[in-house]
Chains A and B, each alone.
Chain A
Amino acid sequence: GQNIDQPTEMTATEGAIVQINCTYQTSGFNGLFWYQQHAGEAPTFLSYNVLDGLEEKGRFSSFLSRSKGYSYLLLKELQMKDSASYLCAVLDSNYQLIWGAGTKLIIKP
């Protein structure tokens, strides 16, 4: 079966750094997405990785290792507005998006 695992909840301090991990087992791989979703809102696109390595975009970076079926989202200089759920999603061999359950990130002052 297809499976995406990420922690249910994480807590971090304002101004700090947090890493949210995602491991996946899917039928084929055509890329991995990270989305941010605030409560009661639709997801917003953060990053897309299809090759191994680190993609940096401002305060957010995303890493992919295809051989390990592993990705992480790194958030630096955390702000209170970063409190949200972070969804990991993999595009499988049929170009279907397989979604993780999301990681709820709580930022404390």
Chain B
Amino acid sequence: GAVVSQHPSWVICKSGTSVKIECRSLDFQATTMFWYRQFPKQSLMLMATSNEGSKATYEQGVEKDKFLINHASLTLSTLTVTSAHPEDSSFYICSASRAGGDYNEQFFGPGTRLTVL
């Protein structure tokens, strides 16, 4: 199968601190990884798309200096929420597309629940 993991699965932090979330494709190489945010009872909102070795493409309204994305290898992408505030509390989900595979399918990680106090 195509398994994507995220770490941590949940995190609680104080306002003003930075939080790093890792997204790994465990058994395949992911040329493209996507970061989503989901607020309660709302749909997934794409934050950014990252390709290995290049800068991430951010969606309109998403602050690139606040949400730092690094896609250092074909199996790892990280999202760092800098100077987190309570309004950043949300469910963050990553997904990955497989290199050489069907571009249509995204494989999702289990998500990271961030709570900023």
Interface residues of A (CB under 8 A from B): 30-31, 33, 40-45, 48, 50, 87, 91, 95-97, 99-102
Q: Flag whether B104 is at the interface (Cβ < 8 A).
A: yes
- Name the B residues within 8 Å of A101 (CB-CB): 42-43
CB contacts (< 8 Å) of A42 on chain B: these are 93, 108-111
Q: How many residues of B contact A (CB 8 A)?
A: 18
Question: Chain B's interface: helix, strand, loop or mixed, by majority?
Answer: loop
Q: Which B29-63 residues have C-beta < 8 A from chain A?
A: 34, 42-46
CB of B65 within 8 Å of the partner chain: no
Identify which of A44, A91, A96, A97 gathers the most chain B CB atoms within 10 Å of its CB.
Answer: A97
Residues of chain B at the chain A interface (Cβ within 8 Å): 34, 42-46, 91, 93, 103-111, 113
Partner of B46, one of A31, A41, A96, A100: A96
Given contact pairs A48-B104, A91-B104, A95-B103, A41 touches B43 in the complex (Cβ within 8 A): no
